[in-house]
């Protein structure tokens, strides 16, 4: 175990006498020196201005109050001269400091040293003079401590400046004081001042240096972070472009295959040559074409949403009719799966601003999931009602349900509860995340409630608001909703 005092002593010695206080400037050494000198010149200017003002006042006092004393006591005469000298010195210093910036660091540093060393030695002289008048040497004390706290001196500069000024004053004291006990007591006092001055000077310098290094570190990490962010943004742009390109590339040949298959279908029907087998293969081809089209369409849409290129065509439309029509258009399909579909609405008509095609896709998506995850004999309920400032559409099923820990995750992209290859239901994990994004661009929301083994309830909300447009702009309520094509595409994940 280390005794505390023994451990601290080397630390104090290191802090008092080490060359660089253990501060590592690395590549910033030159920049730090530049900054330190600029700060010192600035501080010297302010200090010199204050000193000049003070000495002008003191000179006036010398001229008005101490005039009679000057003739009797030489110390008052020296006081007068010392005030005069420092005023002249500071004026000279100010005259030349303007041009100092064009010189190198050494000259700048030397120029600052002229200022604070001349102040210290001037104070040393004042201290001895004050000793002759009042027996005090306080001026020196205050000056050394002030400079130590005010100017950023490197540890070696501080050590040298403070120690040499102490030696000067001790030499002067020895000249003037014959009483050895008084001399020792002054030397002890000066020793204490020197000790604290060095500590304060080092603390001042190290806090300035650490501040500088911290700022540099922060700037460097910010720069690195910005560079990384820029790279990530670039990757994201590349990814989005790639996704958009590849999706288009996939869709074009797929459309050709799909059209060819339809032509084949018609041709075979015309020649009445189809039999059970060709029908089966054609159906397989068709459904898988639909699946690919759905996947690619979804990929294109999420890419568009990600890059804020997705277009929503809002129109004042009867939301009840849109939801009812699209639900009814899949009623037979659902009933054929042995599932009972129940549609219920609290209101007959509700006009809101929405994109009918998007609402249809959202409802079809939820219905296709409900069918996919509900076994024969189950129920699917579609319900619409008004709640506060929203229209709520609820799609509820009595299917397999969703585990608690997955309820929030299913709205994230590519998330599926059952990811195993052996799973019974097909899917890409894009549907719900796309539904969520489509609702967001509409100002709507989606949430899920579910109990495993009992079923799931998906609730979507759409804001109850209208576009300020004429009645004629309202979407034609009789327009055909949910084309066979669109339904086939949205339900293509479900196999017989």
Residue 288: CB minimum distance to ligand ADP, A = 15
For residue 294, give the nearest of 351, 250, 238, 242 by alpha carbon. 250
293 is a site residue for ligand ADP (CB under 6 A): no
Q: Which is nearer to ligand ADP, 169 or 302 (CB)?
A: 302
Residue 209: CB minimum distance to ligand ADP, A = 56
Residue 402: CB minimum distance to ligand ADP, A = 5
Placement of tokens 């004291």 in the chain:
173
Question: In angstroms, rounded to a whole number, what is the distance separating the alpha carbons of residues 233 and 226?
Answer: 10
Angle between helices 74-97 and 105-134 (to 10 degrees): 170
The site for ligand ADP, by CB under 6 A, has a size of 20
- Token pair, residue 447, equals 């949430």
For Cα atoms 451, 454, 455, give the angle at the middle one, nearest 5 degrees.
75
Q: Which ranges of 2-66 would DSSP assign to H, the alpha helix?
A: 4-17, 29-64
- Of these, 117, 340, 383, 416, which contacts ligand ADP (CB under 6 A)? 416
For residue 481, give the nearest of 353, 345, 361, 338 by alpha carbon. 361
Q: What does residue 329 show for φ and ψ, rounded to 5 degrees?
A: -70, -20
Residue window 436-465: x/- pattern of binding to ligand ADP, with contact defined by CB under 6 A: --------------------x---------
- Of these, 410, 446, 462, 489, which contacts ligand ADP (CB under 6 A)? 410
Residue window 321-360: x/- pattern of binding to ligand ADP, with contact defined by CB under 6 A: ----------------------------------------
Residue 280: CB minimum distance to ligand ADP, A = 25
314 is a site residue for ligand ADP (CB under 6 A): no
- Of these, 345, 428, 466, 488, which contacts ligand ADP (CB under 6 A)? 428
SS3 479: coil
Q: Which is nearer to ligand ADP, 399 or 444 (CB)?
A: 399
431 is a site residue for ligand ADP (CB under 6 A): yes
Residue of minimal CB distance from ligand ADP?
Answer: 427
Stretch that binds ligand ADP, among 231-239, 240-248, 322-330, 365-373 (CB under 6 A): 365-373
Residue 298: CB minimum distance to ligand ADP, A = 9
Residue 269: CB minimum distance to ligand ADP, A = 32
128 is a site residue for ligand ADP (CB under 6 A): no
Strands 340-345, 379-387: pairing is parallel
Question: In angstroms, rounded to a whole number, what is the distance separating the alpha carbons of residues 141 and 128?
Answer: 12
302 is a site residue for ligand ADP (CB under 6 A): no
Question: In angstroms, rounded to a whole number, what is the distance separating the alpha carbons of residues 341 and 335?
Answer: 7
Distance of CA 29 to CAs 108, 423, 431, Å? 16, 64, 58
What would you measure as the largest C-alpha separation in the chain, in angstroms? Answer: 141
Contact 465, 353 (CB under 8 A): yes
- Of these, 173, 190, 323, 432, which contacts ligand ADP (CB under 6 A)? 432
Residue 336: CB minimum distance to ligand ADP, A = 19
Neighbours of 48 (CB within 10 A): 20
Question: In angstroms, rounded to a whole number, what is the distance separating the alpha carbons of residues 413 and 269?
Answer: 41
Residue 423: CB minimum distance to ligand ADP, A = 8
Residue 382: CB minimum distance to ligand ADP, A = 13
Residue 363: CB minimum distance to ligand ADP, A = 13
- The interface with ligand ADP within residues 375-404 (CB under 6 A) comprises 397, 399-400, 402
For residue 162, give the nearest of 173, 175, 174, 149 by alpha carbon. 149
- Of these, 359, 373, 437, 461, which contacts ligand ADP (CB under 6 A)? 373
Indicate the burial class of 397 (C-beta count within 10 angstroms; 0-12, 13-18, 19 or more).
buried
Q: Which is nearer to ligand ADP, 428 or 466 (CB)?
A: 428
Question: In angstroms, rounded to a whole number, what is the distance separating the alpha carbons of residues 85 and 408?
Answer: 81
Neighbours of 32 (CB within 10 A): 18
Site for ligand ADP, rule CB under 6 A: 369-370, 373, 397, 399-400, 402, 410, 415-418, 427-433, 456
């Amino acid at each position: 175990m280390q005794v505390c005092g023994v451990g601290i002593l080397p630390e104090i010695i290191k802090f008092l006498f080490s060359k660089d206080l253990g501060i590592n400037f690395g590549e910033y050494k030159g920049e730090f020196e530049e900054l330190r000198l600029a700060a010192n010149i600035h501080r010297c200017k302010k200090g010199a201005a204050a000193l000049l003002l003070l000495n002008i006042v003191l000179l006036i006092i010398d001229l008005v109050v101490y005039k009679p004393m000057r003739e009797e006591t030489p110390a008052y005469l020296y006081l007068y001269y010392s005030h005069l000298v420092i005023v002249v010195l500071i004026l000279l210093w100010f005259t030349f400091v303007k041009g100092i910036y064009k010189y190198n660091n050494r000259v700048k540093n030397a120029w600052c040293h002229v200022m604070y060393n001349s102040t210290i030695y001037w104070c040393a002289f004042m201290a001895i003079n004050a000793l002759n008048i009042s027996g005090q040497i306080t001026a020196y004390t205050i000056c050394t401590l002030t400079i130590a706290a005010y100017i950023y001196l490197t540890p070696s500069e501080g050590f040298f400046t403070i120690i040499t000024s102490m030696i000067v004053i001790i030499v002067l004291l020895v000249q003037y004081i014959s009483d050895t006990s008084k001399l020792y007591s002054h030397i002890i006092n000066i020793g204490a001042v020197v000790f604290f001055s060095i500590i304060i000077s080092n603390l001042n310098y190290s806090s300035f240096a650490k501040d500088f290094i911290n700022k540099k570190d922060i700037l460097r990490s910010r720069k690195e972070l910005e560079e990384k962010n820029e790279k990530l943004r670039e990757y994201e742009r590349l990814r989005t472009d790639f996704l958009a390109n590849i999706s288009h590339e996939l869709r074009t040949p797929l459309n050709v295959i799909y059209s060819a298959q339809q032509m084949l279908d018609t041709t075979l029907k015309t020649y009445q040559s189809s039999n059970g087998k060709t029908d089966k293969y054609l159906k397989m081809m068709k459904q898988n074409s639909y699946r690919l089209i759905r996947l690619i369409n979804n990929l294109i849409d999420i890419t568009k949403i990600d890059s804020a290129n997705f277009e929503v065509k809002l129109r004042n439309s009867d939301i009840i009719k849109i939801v009812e029509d699209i639900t009814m258009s899949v009623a037979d399909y659902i009933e054929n799966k042995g599932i009972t579909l129940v549609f219920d609405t609290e209101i007959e008509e509700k006009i809101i601003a929405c994109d009918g095609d998007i609402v249809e896709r959202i409802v079809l998506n939820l219905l296709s999931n409900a069918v996919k995850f509900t076994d024969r004999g189950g129920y699917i309920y579609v319900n619409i009602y008004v709640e506060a400032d929203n229209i709520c559409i609820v799609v509820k099923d009595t299917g397999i349900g969703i585990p608690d820990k997955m309820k929030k995750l299913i709205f994230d992209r590519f998330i599926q509860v059952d990811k195993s290859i052996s799973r019974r239901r097909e899917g890409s994990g894009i549907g719900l995340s796309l539904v969520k994004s489509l609702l967001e661009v509409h100002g709507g929301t989606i949430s899920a409630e579910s109990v495993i083994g009992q079923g799931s309830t998906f609730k979507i909300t759409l804001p109850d608001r209208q576009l300020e447009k004429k009645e004629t702009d309202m979407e034609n309520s009789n327009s055909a909703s949910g084309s066979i094509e669109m339904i086939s595409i949205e339900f293509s994940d479900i196999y017989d």
